[in-house]
Copies of this chain bind each other. A is one copy, B any other.
Amino acid sequence: MNKISNRDKILTEGLKVVHERGFANASVRDIVQAAGVPQGSFTNHFVSKEAFGLEILDIYFAAGYELIRETLLNDDLPPLQRMGAYIDANMSRLNQSGMRNGCLFGNFTAEASDHSEIIRTRLVEIFGEVQGAVAYCLKAGIAAGEISPTLDCDELAGFFVASLQGANLLAKAVRNPEPVERFKHVLFSLILQRAG
């Protein structure tokens, strides 16, 4: 029982520390200190820092996927409204730290993807899952007559995922959500409206 509890503390507090400081910058000592557990506890529960990194990515993704389910994949709402709600929900999530921490997936891609093939592969899968949900929503938008049937939904979904990552990154630099708001405005006023 105690073992499970320490493991959870390391994951919960360690995710926060890595999100704030970066994966390389956050040492195992920082992580166990934040979790309030003995240093040996980390090696008891994780074979490596990389294995721990993979687990916190999955925890972060599970929370993000909840937002995706409530918005992009939510067939009870009109498709374009879902897309706007997804951007807003994501922005609110990142703005809990005044945009300072950025998106964990973007941070890991920038700093850790070249050091760990297994983390890089997982990031590619995660971006692919988000892209799939955006494409699903765009296709629903075509079916509902909200956007033009000439749109290449898969291409535009890939563009969406990358551009939102870029907006999150710039928002981290300027420490305000303006780049994300700009992405949303250009998407709706120049890409989707004109396609409609």
19 A-B pairs besides A24-B24, A111-B111, A127-B173 with CB distance below 8 A are A20-B114, A106-B110, A110-B110, A110-B172, A113-B172, A113-B173, A123-B173, A124-B174, A159-B163, A159-B186, A162-B179, A163-B163, A163-B167, A165-B169, A166-B167, A186-B191, A190-B190, A191-B191, A194-B194
Chain B residues contacting A12 (CB-CB under 8 Å) are: none
12 contacts between A and B (CB under 8 A): A20-B114, A22-B112, A22-B114, A25-B115, A106-B169, A110-B111, A110-B172, A156-B190, A159-B182, A163-B166, A166-B168, A190-B190
Question: Known contacts being A25-B24, A156-B186, is A114 close to B172, with CB within 8 Å?
Answer: yes
A41 and B109 CA atoms in complex are apart in Å by 32
A101 within 8 A of B: yes
Main secondary structure of the interface of A (DSSP, over half): helix
